[in-house]
Structure 1
Amino acid sequence: MSSDTLAPSPAAPGTPDPAHAPSRPSLVIVGAGPRGTGLLERIAANAPELYAGPGLDIHLVDPHPPGGGRIWRQAQSPLLWMNSHAEDVTMFTDETVTMDGPVREGPTLHEWAGLDGAAFADRQLQGRYLRWVYERARAELPESIAVHHHARRAVRISGPRDARQQVWLEGRPQPLLADLVILAIGHLDAELDDEQAELAAYARDHKLVHLPPDFTADTDLSALRPGEPVLVRGFGLAFVDLMVLLTEGRGGRYEGDAYLPSGREPVLYVGSRRGVPYHSKIGYDWTGDRPPLPRFLGPAEIEGLLARPEGFDFRRDVWPLVEKELGFAHYHRLFTAHAERTAMAWADFEEKYAAATGPAETRALVAAAVPDPADRLDLTALDRPLDGVRYASHEDFQDGLRAYIEGDLKRRHDPSHSADLGVFLGLLSVYGQLVRLGNIGPWWHGFFSHLASGPPGPRLRQMLALSRAGLLRFVGADMTVTAEHGVFRAGSPTVPGFRVETRALVEARLPEPTVRRARDSLLRHLHADGAAETPEGLLRVDPVDGRILDGAGRPHPRRFALGPYTDARTPGAFTRPRTGGPAFRQNDAAARSALAFLSRSRTEGGAR
């Protein structure tokens, strides 16, 4: 029978905890948000086949409520939305997921909540959905498996490789004993990097405001005063949350295409490396045949890359395959759905495209077969649309970027440009394959997010309204930030000579998921205990089931990790139905490995 201890009382020193009796195998899952919940669902699905033990204690360790965890908890502003359509959010597997465990389908968010599938739910509602998924997973566990939630932080794991682990919790004198530990931690706070630390120190010395990277819903924004200019570095989803909380969150409202201020808003000056917001979510449904993916980057190509004794380089060896796959997805859709805009039969184009041996040959083929340049896929221009672009004045740039956003909105909501949706499906396919490569560096994740994980269209329309109202000002690409003469200064080559000075700087992005700079002591202790990290600071794990690797590449037999701080991170917290979600595949593999180990350990009288 499942149980749920929301606020466990600490045991007295030296007193055994009855929930942790040594005769029962024990699994500790650190993190009870979407990843931990998805893992629990896979344990429930696989336990009837793989676990024959007389009982099992599963301990969920998370100071936040199970289901939503920190990021998706119900206790946050109702103004904050998800950035996915409700019909594109599911916590349940389907027949497209390549895994060994059984499929157990369940409702998407829109089916569960009775929402319009095209709606963007607020995060409070998503938190309720996740809590329901958690409760359903618990109910589907065999009666011999008990679940205990500990509303605390895990601070350290100790124990030899060949024996039970000890998971130490904040404020609890005795550790949880675990045959296996799975880290399912989501986004974590991080220590400042060198540049951020210098800016923060300058702000303290000169009585300025510096807000470091953080989950925006947890950031204290009260120091940003009405009417004052605020410099914002970051133009992605964290910026969207910041924009909402500092405008509607302070009493402003929208009427049609206009924003009516409350008078309590600051003036936001925003810039970033690209200098533009993420591309809008696509606002129409798929019709017709989907591109047959994977085509040029599938399991065989991944196996070939992994088999290279000299290793592989992302730009040299992987990116050409990615580019070819995304191009195939784009042109398949263009030729099959909009053939009137092509000058060649699809069968002929496909044959020549597959045979093309380099970028120049591919460009020549596309130029001959696709007359309108607007119908050709240019990934470089999509990634860096302001490269080489210069404006004579700051005001000219405001007009120019508003036109860029309006153009993006129009294209992303026009099904005559549905080749863009083909590219989106290609991106999902590619990400699912690249997860198996492990460490490929940080660039790909940012590129994917820019193209495929942008804000809802209504948020971009709000940006336009705020820009017209003078409360949102665009700085440009490759924005530089300095602290001098008692202020923060920023500029961009997009508008030569323009500079803005402010007394407040907000780093609008989540902290980088690095092991070494994580404020979470659990990860720091793991690193000190020999867990390997990539050059970018991600925890190295076995891409098959998430076992933590040491410096020699050996998987730890009793420690697993899944999530954004690992080098097998997946494209987001949630999966679009029927897209073969790699997170589902990882959860299933980890659950099956854990259950098989626990069952085998029990049968063989493994170390306790």
Structure 2
Amino acid sequence: MSGAPTLVVIGGGPRGTGVIERIAANAAELYGDRPLDIHIVDPYPPGGGRIWRQDQSPLLWMNSMAEDVTMFTDDTVQLEGPVSPGPALHTWAADVREGHTVISADPAVLEEIRGLGGQGFPSRRLQSAYLRWVYEQAVAALPPGITVHEHTGHALRVSGPRGGRQRVRIQGRAEPIEADLVVLTVGHLDAEPDTEQRELAAFAARHGLVHLPPDFTADTDLSAVPAGEPVLVRGFGLAFIDLMVLLTEGRGGRYEDGVYLPSGREPVLYVGSRRGVPYHSKIGYTWEGERPPLPRHFGAAQVEELLHGGGPVDFRRDLWPLIAKELGHAHYHRLFTAHPERTTVDLTDFEEKYAVAEHGSPELAALVASAVPDPADRLDLDALDHPLDGVRHTSYDSLQDGLRAYITADLERRHDPAHSPDLSVFLGLLSVYGQLTGAGDIGAWWHGFFNYIASGPPGPRLRQLLALSEAGVVRFLGAGMTVESDEEHGVFRARSTSVSGAYTEARALVEARLPDPSLRRTRSPLLSALYEDGAAGTDTGLLSVDPADSRILDTDGRPHPRRFALGPYTTARSAGAFTRPRTGGAAFRQNDAAARTALAFLRDLSCRDRLTA
């Protein structure tokens, strides 16, 4: 009899953990008591992986409340395998506090767990402890015949024929692992700089300036960022929030009664972006009452019809009108059911007319205007996406007042249940994202829009931003930010469309955003080699995978029988490896499909081996 089949999972973070959990959940049905060796390959400890590793600053938080984080399936997830319920983060923390769950963690993390409530924003180190526990539970749930082996190091290359065993080379290991199947769950990618970043880096080197390209802020060496000097920051999303924290509290500053007290070691951060505003605050209240019936206008049937309509699918032309209708449906359904006093017609009548009105049509605008008298209660997605369009200030000082007022209003709205249609739109965004996982590479705009609306910073972080602005440590540059290199004076120069004719100079530039997930510029030798060996990539550089089970596609569109990939670098990228409970969990569905396909393949392989042994 031959040895046990072998599965290699490259990447031990939450996505890899999710695949192991689904293997454990499906093994009894699909694999029985057969032997199987699973190898986990990651330079970081399994569970948290790189992004959620234990070894990072305790100042860095999750951008989700504890009650909104789970790694476990429930009956809202559409999957073929069994539901395996488990605790969300806040419930798990309560179990640890009460002694029902015992973990090994840093004393500071245990102290944080003791004070964590459902609506608290945990540190990433605490999330690392939760993810490690989930991983250990998943491994423990595997049948006795399945053995897990952990390898610390980077996977360098996967090779082998389509019809035979694969060879996985690992950094520091002399011999490759022979694998029957390989699953890539490598998470976010580092990237080589693009042309603009190379030119900016060369300019900085010529003039002795500081230039930090797109990167994961927690991994960036910020020691070169000078204290007390202006620093241009391009990017106003979550990477900026991390940067803000590490260059203020991380350098000894502190907050007292909402006021920031500098240490004197902070730089002055001049921040701008395309929109010119930070991501919207996380919503600070919980859902009550009936949830909107989703999907309604953008479900599996609509996506299937578009994808098989005989021609290429254009996001703006084909998908966006349906998505906008879906988000509007979520918004108005909540408005009519939770706040009927702010509407003038019957919900059923409104929804019947809304369903047949085309997105962007005068008929739809007239329907909404007549049924929803207050413009503040209407959903305007264009205004949400471009909040500073047409807004001009006569000076940067005026812009500071305007942006502080904007952020304050956003905080008030996102923490006021009277505006609960905002939370309904959030649920609509999650539903849409789940449907789009099967639509292939839809471009970068949607992912940015989703994160801007649905994945913003905790409210306390934006209150800290306001305090830093009042203290003069953060200065807003506005929308449409551009950066120029001034060879004559040896400085970076930034402009925006929010203040005509004005510019800001600095000897340091930080790109506060993640690298693009592109196969063409990835620093991963593993993914580069796959691409060179014939794995298909899209125009935007994503790895092409079969939406049905996440098998890697070649340039002819054929799925590789022995290679899978899941994560943000693929065409089936989802909103995250974990999610809010009872919201469908698209990543969980993908993990389940990949695990079931893998187990069925390995089962059949094991049966053939037994017959020929």
Q: Secondary structure at the match of 2:576?
A: coil
What is the distance in 2 between the residues matched to 1:488 and 1:573? 38
Q: Secondary structure at the match of 1:157?
A: strand
Partner of 1:85: 65
Q: Does 1:178 align with 2:158?
A: no
What is the distance in 1 between the residues matched to 2:2 and 2:500? 69
The one-letter code matched in structure 2 to 1:266 is P
Partner of 2:530: 526
The one-letter code matched in structure 1 to 2:507 is R
What is the distance in 1 between the residues matched to 2:404 and 2:281? 14
Partner of 1:339: 340
For residues 408-419 of structure 1, the aligned pairs below 5 Å read: 408-419=410-421
Q: Does 1:259 align with 2:263?
A: no
Q: Is the 8 A contact 1:252 1:262 kept in 2?
A: yes
Q: Is the 8 A contact 2:18 2:577 kept in 1?
A: no
Kindly provide the CA deviation profile for residues 484-534 of structure 1, in whole angstroms up to 9, marking residues without a partner as x.
131111010111111111111111111111111110100000000000011
Kindly provide the CA deviation profile for residues 191-247 of structure 1, in whole angstroms up to 9, marking residues without a partner as x.
001100100111111111111111111111011121011110110000000000000
What is the distance in 1 between the residues matched to 2:211 and 2:585? 38
Q: Secondary structure at the match of 1:437?
A: coil
Partner of 1:594: 598
Kindly provide the CA deviation profile for residues 453-503 of structure 1, in whole angstroms up to 9, marking residues without a partner as x.
000000000000000000000011110001113111101011111111111
Q: Is the 8 A contact 1:53 1:599 kept in 2?
A: no
- Aligned identity (percent) is 69
Kindly provide the CA deviation profile for residues 52-106 of structure 1, in whole angstroms up to 9, marking residues without a partner as x.
3631110000000000000000111110000000000000000000000000000
Q: Which one of 479, 486, 492 corresponds to residue 481 of structure 2?
A: 479
The one-letter code matched in structure 2 to 1:541 is V
Q: Which one of 16, 27, 30 corresponds to residue 7 of structure 2?
A: 27
Partner of 2:302: 301
The one-letter code matched in structure 2 to 1:577 is P
Partner of 2:379: 377
Kindly provide the CA deviation profile for residues 164-192 of structure 1, in whole angstroms up to 9, marking residues without a partner as x.
00000112221001000000011121000
Partner of 2:431: 429
Query: What stretches of structure 2 of length at least 5 have no aligned partner?
Result: 95-115
Partner of 1:444: 446
The one-letter code matched in structure 2 to 1:495 is V
Q: Does 1:72 align with 2:73?
A: no
The one-letter code matched in structure 2 to 1:474 is F
For residues 459-498 of structure 1, the aligned pairs below 5 Å read: 459-484=461-486, 485-498=489-502
Q: Does 1:542 align with 2:552?
A: no
The one-letter code matched in structure 1 to 2:37 is D
For residues 200-349 of structure 1, the aligned pairs below 5 Å read: 200-349=201-350
Residue 311 (structure 1) shift: 2.6
Q: Which one of 554, 559, 562 corresponds to residue 563 of structure 2?
A: 559
The one-letter code matched in structure 2 to 1:399 is D
Partner of 2:150: 149
What is the distance in 2 between the residues matched to 1:367 and 1:165? 61
TM-score (norm 2): 0.95
Residue 355 (structure 1) shift: 1.8
Query: What stretches of structure 1 of length at least 5 have no aligned partner?
Result: 1-20
Q: Is the 8 A contact 1:59 1:149 kept in 2?
A: yes
Distance 1:92 1:358, change over 3 A: closer
Q: Secondary structure at the match of 1:254?
A: strand
Partner of 1:403: 405
Partner of 1:4: none
Kindly provide the CA deviation profile for residues 19-53 of structure 1, in whole angstroms up to 9, marking residues without a partner as x.
xx961100000000000001100000011111136
Residue 573 (structure 1) shift: 3.1
Q: CA RMSD in A?
A: 1.2
What is the distance in 2 between the residues matched to 1:406 and 1:160? 58
Q: Secondary structure at the match of 2:379?
A: coil
Kindly provide the CA deviation profile for residues 566-607 of structure 1, in whole angstroms up to 9, marking residues without a partner as x.
010001232110011100000000000000000011112399
What is the distance in 2 between the residues matched to 1:53 and 1:195? 55
What is the distance in 2 between the residues matched to 1:574 and 1:49? 25
Q: Does 1:389 align with 2:391?
A: yes
Q: Is the 8 A contact 1:62 1:69 kept in 2?
A: yes
Q: Which one of 93, 103, 109 corresponds to residue 89 of structure 2?
A: 109
Q: Is the 8 A contact 1:183 1:560 kept in 2?
A: yes
Q: Is the 8 A contact 1:53 1:602 kept in 2?
A: no
Partner of 1:5: none
Partner of 1:18: none
The one-letter code matched in structure 1 to 2:541 is G
Q: Is the 8 A contact 1:157 1:167 kept in 2?
A: yes
What is the distance in 1 between the residues matched to 2:85 and 2:228? 50
What is the distance in 2 between the residues matched to 1:357 and 1:31? 44
Residue 357 (structure 1) shift: 3.0
What is the distance in 1 between the residues matched to 2:419 and 2:330? 13
The one-letter code matched in structure 2 to 1:547 is R
What is the distance in 2 between the residues matched to 1:319 and 1:357? 12
